[in-house]
Each structure stands twice: as structure tokens, then as C-alpha cells.
Amino acid sequence: MIAVARGDGPRVLPGSLLTLRRKCGKPGFLCATGSPHETPALSFSVGVRTKMFALLPDEVPVAATGVTRYPEVAPSR
């Protein structure tokens, strides 16, 4: 599990959900013919760095909830 589940505070993520698209390069896979794999992921900033986690399907709703709640509690930048 990712950082989403850690800590005892509210599950708030200063990040955004995105979809990674990549090609593994293996012949015979759809990606080889122009249809890249789509992987849900969460990106967020830690200091000046941006971290990215690939999400398991059952982690997406958790991450989405965290991202959605973030604007409610975070000071505006």
C-alpha cells in the first residue's frame, strides 16, 4: 500500500490522479500496435520533487477520495 494509508490524520493527498500510458515493448501485446497500457497513478509533490505511485485498482477510490478532500483543508497557494 502507498502513503495513502499511513498516518492517523485525514487521508489527504496534495496530488492528483492521472493515468500512465506506457508500452512494455513485448511483441504480441496491444501496446506493440499502438495501444499503450493504462495504469492509474497518483502524483504528488514532496517539497520540490514530484512523486508518482502506480495504483492498484482497489487503491484508486481511496486515492480519489484523498485528492478530492485536499482542497477543503489545504491553504490556498
Binding residues for Zn ion, per CB under 5 A? 24, 29, 31
Distances in Å between the alpha carbon of 25 and those of 34, 35, 38?
A: 10, 11, 14
Considering the complex, what minimum distance in angstroms separates the CB of residue 27 from Zn ion? Answer: 9
The residue (of 32 and 56) whose beta carbon lies closer to Zn ion is 32
The residue (of 16 and 39) whose beta carbon lies closer to Zn ion is 39
Spatial contact of 58 and 40, defined as CB atoms under 8 Å apart? no
The residue (of 3 and 31) whose beta carbon lies closer to Zn ion is 31
Helix (H, G, I), strand (E, B) or coil at 20: strand
